[in-house]
Structure formats: C-alpha cells, structure tokens
Chains A and B, each alone.
Chain A
C-alpha cells in the first residue's frame, strides 16, 4: 500500500552538528511537505517540495521524485531545532490529502 517512511526514528545531536533526515515514499507524489513539530505541539511548515531543492536559512530540502525520496538537511543545529520532523506526501488521486510518516524525533543538546 501507499507508505511514507522516515529515518532515523530518533536522533541526538550536539549543538553545531549537521544532520540529514530521510523520507522514502512508495509511489509518485503530487505534493511533499516537511514539518517541524515543536515541543508545544505546533506544526510548522518548513518546505513544500514535490521536486527539486530549496533552502531556507540553515535548513534545506531536496526531493528526487523519480527515486521516491526526500532529504531534509539541518546545518549548525541549535537547541531550538529540537522536536519532531515529519514529512507528508500526497499521492496521485487528488484532493491534496496528505499521508504522514511516523516522524524523526530530534534532540539537540548544548
């Protein structure tokens, strides 16, 4: 069936380290989004990236649609980067319905 898989499930970093989070999806996608869920539970839109590469400050994302994966890069991590990172994909079928991965839980220590 349609699946979105994220790795690693958990990640612990020292402040200043870099990291790469991966999202694999089982079929071609119309929409791919990355979110950060902060410790207060809010979902923050990071990237809308069905294909290509985007950068926003210390964060960047790349989606290779033909190979069915997306990567989120976090450089020079800060304690405020802690939380859970979700990718979510909309597969063909319309209506922009998102299927979420289980998330990567990131803890950045000072």
Chain B
C-alpha cells in the first residue's frame, strides 16, 4: 500500500522552513527520500534505516520513527533550488532488490 505524504503542496519564501511527512500503514525497514524537478528524473536525497540515526545533508535532514511508521523531511532556510516534488519511498523489509513503494509526492515551491 502506498505511503501517504503530507502536505500535498507547500509554498515558501526563500529562507523559510518546511516539514514534509511520510506515513505508512506497514512496518518499515527503511525510508528513502527523492526530489524531482519538473520534467526531470528523481534525484536521491537520503535513506533512513531502521535503528539508524537521523540523517542530514546541508540544510536538509530527516527523521524516522519506526514505531509510528513515519518519516519526516526537514528543509531549513529554504533556497530557490529546493523547489520540486519530494517523494518518499518505503521498504517494508530488507528487500535485496530494493523494491520501493513511493508516496504521491509533495510539491514544494520556494519563491524569492
């Protein structure tokens, strides 16, 4: 079953913060975050593993609450380049083939 992302869309001013949530009805082994610019391929952001630590890259970080089967992506001091659609992909078990189920996406627009 597809994970649920919220909000579906968000508009920010440059420098503002945002949180994107990803919730699954299944127990999860890992959560994967990708960003896709319009008309382009998704680009990997980070992976959170069961039992792992909160990840971060520059001003984008994420957390994974295994008990609640939820993950959140935090964008701090947003930049224009952060605009795009963010997808979470969930893996309910450690599939060797990395068979992910993606959420419907959160569209983020950062304005000057």
The answer to whether A and B belong to the same complex is: no
